[in-house]
Structures are given as structure tokens and as C-alpha cells.
Amino acid sequence: MFMAIDPRVHLGPVCLKVKDFGVSIPFYEKIIGLRTIRREGNTAVLSADGKDPLLYLEELKNGEKKPARTTGLYHFALLLPGRNHLGAALAHLLAAGYPLTGASDHLFSEAIYLSDPDGNGIEIYADRPRDTWQRDEEGYILSATLPLDVKSVLSEGKGTPWTGMPEGTKMGHIHLHVADLEAAEHFYAGILGFEIQFSPQMKAMFQGQFVSAGGYHHHIGFNLWMGKGAKQPPENSFGLKHYTIRYPDADSCHHALRALAGEGIEAEPVPGGHLVRDPSGIPILLTHA
């Protein structure tokens, strides 16, 4: 059953499985600039503003490295309030000597990339003004992967001291490795109603798709880069435990749950919402304000 998505839908916290809090928490505090606001047993909660959770960490002391060529997380993406904050973050990372895995201009945004100690991909980015985003004649977003103008971004950040992730930082999007592109598109766009952002030509070239609510460039990206039919990683492997889609109210969340039920997709009631799995087995927490 198709449903039009509420334009206010956005992402909530991401939950990761990690090996050792003694390594992961210092990384996320000192390198990424988040603050631990709660820690109980093998769970830690991190925030940018000291109040709202952005990231949950679950420690798996006896976990294993995620096997290659499996589905799951490509990266989660922290959206900064402005380009000046991206400049401050980049200067901080360069001063810390932490290795970056990329730095790109995507036309609609500018981004830097790195991985945490368990290999979980992280993007830190700032959007360009929405009225500058380029679209083709059919309304699909135009995207590219160009070299980041590092000098310009650093210059923009010179007047912004680095004191950690700034207030206003959000979980901007998530990018996933999936096993079947068409099945993923049907799930996210055909059932949940997210808007398709890539043209058929871009989808074929990229071997992936971007979907969003409210005309955003993408809240969820998914690709076939691990190969069609890629296997799910074992439950005890490090990586993504789940990510969160947050609806603005109970009615819109229940609408999504009814659409899923109409396709025979079960949603498990859990604390804070309902847990579902996409066609690649990736867990998603559906919740509402």
C-alpha cells in the first residue's frame, strides 16, 4: 500500500555495536566531539547538545568484526548547522591527526568522511542553501562527488572555535549497503512513501538510490556495492544495530505501521517504538514525537 510521507519525517538516533567502550567512547568524545549523557552496563548514549541522543553504543566484548561483502551500514551522517562548523570540525580532525577516508563536494552539501575504531563509517557534513540545490527537468536531485575545497572550508571555520559538535547537530541521513536495490526501493518508497531523489539514469550509474521526506536531498541512501544478494552479517558482529525513523506524531507513525502490515511486514513493539527490518534485514526503529 502506497502512502505519501509526512514532510516532517526525519531520522533519529543511530545505534551501533562496538567492541570496547574504552576505545569507542574516547573516540566519539575527543575525535567526533559528542558528549556521553548516560552510561549503564553495556550501553552508552551520546549527544551533541547534552540533552537529545544522537548515538547509542552497545558494547559487545565477545563480538566479531563484520564480515566483508555483507549488508548494513555504509555510513551515518551528522549534519552540522553551518559551513563554518564544518570548517571548525575539519581543522580539529586535521590537528588531531585522525585519518580521513574522504572529503567531497556533492553539489548540495560538503562533507568529510572517516571511520570509527570498529570500522563504522561516519560522514560529517554541511548543507548548501536549499535554493542552490540543482535538479533536472523532472525534479530529480543532481549529485556529484567532487574534491572538497578544503582551503575554502577551513577559511570559513577560522572564526568558529572547536568545542565539540555544536548545538543543532542532527542525524542528517544514513547510507546503507543492501542486497537488492529494487526491493529496497519498493520498501522505502513504495511502502513507507519516501520520495525518490535519483533519476533512473543516476540510479543505474550509482548502483544506488536516495530517498527522503519533504524534498530533502536524502534521508536514506542505499547501494548495491556489496553485491546483489549480499548476506546479512551475524548478529554478534560490530556495526549497525538499528537506526531510527522519527515521525512527527502518532497518527503518521501508525499510518506507516499499517502500510507495512498491509505488505505482510511485521513490526515488533519495543521500548520507544516498533522495530521492523527492511528487505536486507537491516533493523529500523519507527518512533514518533
Virtual CA dihedral for 94, 175, 238, 124, nearest 10 degrees? 20
| pLDDT tens by residue, 165-213 | 999 999 999 999 999 999 999 999 999 999 999 999 999 999 999 999 9
C-alpha span between 251 and 275 (Å, rounded): 17
C-alpha span between 5 and 13 (Å, rounded): 20
- Residue range 212-230: average pLDDT? 99
| pLDDT tens by residue, 86-112 | 999 999 999 999 999 999 999 999 999
The two most distant CA atoms of the chain are separated, in Å, by 53
Q: How many residues does the chain have?
A: 289
| CATH numbers and ranges of domains, the chain | 10-288 (3.10.180.10)
- What pTM did the predictor assign? 0.98
**What angle (nearest 5°) sits at the alpha carbon of residue 234, between those of residues 229 and 236?**
155
pLDDT score of 4:
84
The secondary structure of residue 98, as a DSSP letter, is: P
**Predicted confidence band at 227 (pLDDT cuts at 50, 70, 90)?**
very high
The mean pLDDT of the chain is 98
Residue 1 has pLDDT above 70, yes or no: no
Residue 2 has pLDDT above 80, yes or no: no
CA atoms within 13 A on the CB side of 206: 20
Q: What percent of the chain has pLDDT over 70?
A: 99
Residue 57 has pLDDT above 90, yes or no: yes
- Residue range 9-28: average pLDDT? 99
In 3D space, the residue among 1, 39, 9 whose CA is nearest the CA of residue 22 turns out to be: 39
